[in-house]
Amino acid sequence: MKNAIYASIYHAVPTDQKPQHSLCPEVPKSWCFFQAAKVNNKKPGPHNVNIHTPLNQLCFKKILPLYQRLTEDSLLLRCSRCLTQNVNESLHNVIWSRCSKEVFVGNSRVKIAASLTVCEYNLGTTRTVCDIMKKLGLSAGSEILRLTNEADSRRLARGIEKSTEKFKKTRRIIALASSRRKENYIENEGTMYGAGMF
């Protein structure tokens, strides 16, 4: 799993003089143009044609520590046992629920959605809303306080419920069943989607 994660970043920085595809999958229909050509005994095409948005070295050096943290054994062990965080509670999901991916929104809208989400995760809905209203010179009425307190209580209750062993066991069973269904489907029907298939 580590190699697959690292392959995604190293694939984006090589040049014709210094190819860095050793972690990419070495199979005939690889998503990596370099490895696919190598396995099929063909000459790989130029990197500037096949890698449409390469990372420059400065970006690579800034992003690499994040990849190193994401590939720590403790985190990968949790992922392999289906102990990842529920999508409904993930920070990413909450940001994009406020800022749709299907409809274009400007940079400022995305920044506002991300800032609000981070504030609510760190401070809670009540304090976030009260602080924003205070900055705007407004006072929070009793109805706003009631609604934001309810939102905080619901979020805490969901978090407590999801941390129970029973809930975790149920999620693992569902995730494993889903994984088996996908494997059976691919085995019976073949791969329906993949890089470069269409």
Tokens (6 digits) for 194: 């993949």
3-state secondary structure of 32: coil
Rounded to whole angstroms, the Cα distance separating 64 from 13 reads 11
Compute the 3-state secondary structure of the chain and give helix, strand, coil in percent, each to the nearest 5. Answer: 65, 0, 35
Instruction: Report pLDDT digits (tens) over 155-183.
Output: 888 888 888 889 889 988 998 998 888 88
Judged by phi (left if over 0) then psi (alpha if -120 to 50, else beta), residue 138 lies in: beta
All structural domains of the chain with their residue ranges: 1-81, 92-161
Residue of 78 and 29 predicted with greater confidence: 29
What was the pLDDT predicted at 89?
A: 55
How far is it, in rounded angstroms, from Cα 49 to Cα 38?
Answer: 17
Amino acid at 198: F
Inter-helix orientation angle 91-98/107-123, to 10°: 130
Q: How confident is the model at residue 150 (pLDDT cuts 50, 70, 90)?
A: very high
Residue listed under structure tokens 């805490």: 156
Spatial separation of the C-alpha atoms in residues 121 and 85, rounded to whole Å: 14
Name the band, by pLDDT with cuts 50, 70 and 90, for residue 81: low
Question: In the prediction, which pLDDT does 59 show?
Answer: 87
pTM of the entire predicted model: 0.42
pLDDT tens digits along 34-64: 888 888 899 888 888 888 778 888 888 888 8
pLDDT of residue 82: 56
Instruction: Flag whether pLDDT at 88 surpasses 70.
Output: no
